[in-house]
Structure 1
Amino acid sequence: MTERKVSLWSRDGLYIDAALRDSGALVIEGQHLRGGGEYEYALTVAADQVPVVVAALGGDADADVLDLLHANAEPIVRRGEKGWLESIGVTVGFWSHGNWADLFDE
């Protein structure tokens, strides 16, 4: 099985993709470019918690989590993907690189 990826956001210097790994884990990767700064992050949802994401987005057991995330990207991104995932009870693995504050230094 090949990893499938969808774009959730691509504007205002923020680029966010979601991918489903061969293991069944969901990974949301973001890159924020602004004012010469760069911040990257990845959120990982274990395969056994992906059904929680699907249910929170109104999908049934056969629904495609990437299609559901794409259809609901605007409110999820505006809230913050990590905060949204945690609000539905999902434990999120988190990785980041760069300094968020550098994006806002003038």
Structure 2
Amino acid sequence: MTHEKLTWLQNQTKAQKEKKKNTDLSDKEGCNSVCTKLFPDNMWPKYEEYEKGLEEWLGERHPNYLQEVNYREWNNCFSGRHHSSLMQKVKDLRGFNVTVVKNAVSKN
């Protein structure tokens, strides 16, 4: 996502707020509002829920998988893939670039 798109989103948020309350919205408030709308807390499962669900799925379909693979190796592989999966979903979401979202969140 480019700076122009982020500015456009902030301006849209400002316009909506001004229509409702007729108040000014700072850049930080604009970023907060956009991130809150686009990234609700329950959008993706938490790490523990995701891991538990995947382990249950593996247990049903491939019961010996976790015994055959070292658990530490499984955990390391899972952690990396979970993070990559979330980052890919964030990047794919409405064409946002992950770094822009990270920067917007870290500035708050």
Q: Decide which structure has the larger Cα Rg and report it.
A: 2
TM-score by length of structure 2 reads: 0.23
Hey, which of these two has a bigger chunk of strand by percent? 1
Q: Per residue, is there more helix in 1 or in 2?
A: 2
Q: Quick one: higher RCO (CA 8 Å, sep 6+), 1 or 2?
A: 2
